[in-house]
Amino acid sequence: MEPHQKKWLWISFGFSLAVLVIVLYFTVDAATFRYLRELNVFFLVLALSVHLAALCMWAFRIQFMCRSLGYRVGFFHSFNLVCANMLLASITPSNAGGEPVRIHELYKVGVTLGDATAVVIMERILDLLVLGIGAAFCFLFLGSEWQQLGSVYSSLMYVFWVVITAIVIFFIYSVRNPDFLKRFIHRVSGIFTRKWESRKLEKFTSTVDREVDNFHQGLGDFASHGKLGLVSGTVFTILFWLLEFAVVSFLLLGLSQPPIFVESIIAQLIIGLIMFIPLTPGASGIAEISFTSLYGLFVNSSILGILVVLWRALLFYFNILLGIIASLVIVNREARS
C-alpha cells in the first residue's frame, strides 16, 4: 500500500473509532453488560455468513454482466476483485471509491477497458436505481414505519430522489450523445489541467476521447446483446442489498432482541444513500452517526452502541481485512507474471 493510502486508511479508522467511542460513552449502562453476557455467538456467525453471501452476490453480478458481453470471468477472480475494491473504497471519499480496482482487475482477465468501464459504471447505476426505487416503494407502501423517521429524513429522501433522477438522466443522455460526455469531461478536467504543457494536454485529450468511445461501445453492447446481463445484474443487486440489510436483524437476535427486518430495510436504504455522499474516507463517521440516529428510533438504547460496533466490525473493519488479503493475492499474482 502506498504511503498516502496508509495515511487515508488511518484517517478513516480515526473517524470511525472516534464516533464509536462517543456512541458507546452515551449508550453503555448496566443493562448493556447483561445483554453482552447473553450474547449468542451463533447469530453473530450467521450475520457474518449473510454478509459473505452478499459479497458473493456482488461477485456473481460482475461475472454474469461480463458473460453477457462475451467474457469469461471466473467466480474466484470476481470475488477477489470485489474484496480488493473494498480496501480502496475505505480510504476514498464516500463508500464508492473502488471502481478503478474493479476496472483494472477485469482488464487483467481480457475484458477490454471500455467494456470493463461500462460494467463497473452500470453496477453503480444499478445500485442507485435499486436503492432509489426501494426507498420510493417503502415511502409509498410502508407509510406508518416511514413516518417514525420524522420529517428530516423524509426531506432528505426527496433530495436523494432528485439527485438520482438527475444522474440517471445525465447517464442516459451521455450514452446517446458521446460527444456531450467528451465535452463534459474536458471541461471538468480542464480545472486540473490548465497548467499542463500543450503536448501532454493533447495526449490526455485524445486518451479521454478514445476511452469515451470504448465506453460508449461497451454500453452499446449491453443495449444490443447484453440485456440478459442487465437483468441478472439487477437481480443480484437486489439480492446483495437485501442480504446486507438483513445483517442488523441477525445481530439483534445475537443480542437477544427481536429482529426488525422492515424497519431495518427503511433505515439502511437511507444509510446506503447517505454513504454515497463523498464527505469522509469510506464514509467513516458518517455511517456510524446515521446508523445511531436512525436505529435509535427502533432499538433499546442500552444495546445501541454495541449494535453499531458489531455492524461496523462486520461491514467496515472485516471488509478492510478482506481487502488486504485480496490485495496480497493480486500483488503475488503480479510478482509471478
pTM above 0.85, yes or no: no
131 pLDDT band, cuts 50/70/90, is confident
Print the domain residue range for 56: 3-336
Average pLDDT (208-227) is: 68
Helices (H), 28-40: 30-37
- The predicted pLDDT at position 51 comes to 95
- The predicted pLDDT at position 16 comes to 74
Distance, CA of 187 to CA of 185 (rounded, Å): 5
- Highest average pLDDT, of 45-54, 112-121, 178-187, comes from 45-54
- The predicted pLDDT at position 325 comes to 92
DSSP letter at 277 equals S
How do residues 282-301 score in pLDDT, each as one tens digit?
A: 567 777 888 888 888 788 88
- The predicted pLDDT at position 80 comes to 94
Distance of CA 67 to the CA centre of its chain: 22
Angle, helices 41-68 vs 113-141, to 10°: value is 130
- Highest average pLDDT, of 100-109, 151-160, 238-247, 264-273, comes from 238-247
Q: Beta-carbon neighbour count of residue 86 at 10 Å?
A: 27
Longest distance between any two alpha carbons in the chain, whole Å: 68
169 pLDDT band, cuts 50/70/90, is confident
How do residues 52-66 score in pLDDT, each as one tens digit?
A: 999 999 999 999 999
In this structure, of 125-129, 196-200, 300-304, the range with the lowest mean pLDDT score is 196-200
Residue 71: partners with Cβ closer than 8 Å, 6 or more residues away? 106, 109, 110, 111, 115
Q: Which backbone phi and psi does 39 adopt, to 5 degrees?
A: -60, 130
- The predicted pLDDT at position 50 comes to 96
Distance of CA 118 to the CA centre of its chain: 17
Can you read off the three cell numbers belonging to residue 120?
463497473
With a cut of 60, say whether residue 19 has pLDDT above it: yes
Distance, CA of 114 to CA of 221 (rounded, Å): 11
With a cut of 60, say whether residue 146 has pLDDT above it: no
Domains in the chain, number: 1
Residues listed for the chain: 337
DSSP letter at 296 equals T
Distance, CA of 72 to CA of 70 (rounded, Å): 7
The mean predicted confidence, pLDDT, of the chain is 79
How do residues 307-318 score in pLDDT, each as one tens digit?
A: 989 998 898 889
- The predicted pLDDT at position 260 comes to 82
Q: Beta-carbon neighbour count of residue 253 at 10 Å?
A: 17
With a cut of 70, say whether residue 189 has pLDDT above it: no
Can you read off the three cell numbers belonging to residue 35?
445483554
In single-letter form, the type of residue at position 278 comes to P
Distance, CA of 324 to CA of 186 (rounded, Å): 35
Helix (H) or strand (E) holding 157: helix 151-176
Residue 226: partners with Cβ closer than 8 Å, 6 or more residues away? 65, 68, 69
Closest CA to 271 of 244, 310, 237: 244
With a cut of 70, say whether residue 188 has pLDDT above it: no
Contacts 24+ apart (CB under 8 A), 171-178: 171/121, 171/125, 175/216, 175/219, 178/212, 178/213, 178/216
Q: How close are the terminal C-alpha atoms of the chain, in Å?
A: 19
Q: Any idea which residue has 470485489 for its cell? A: 82
Q: Which backbone phi and psi does 281 adopt, to 5 degrees?
A: -60, 125
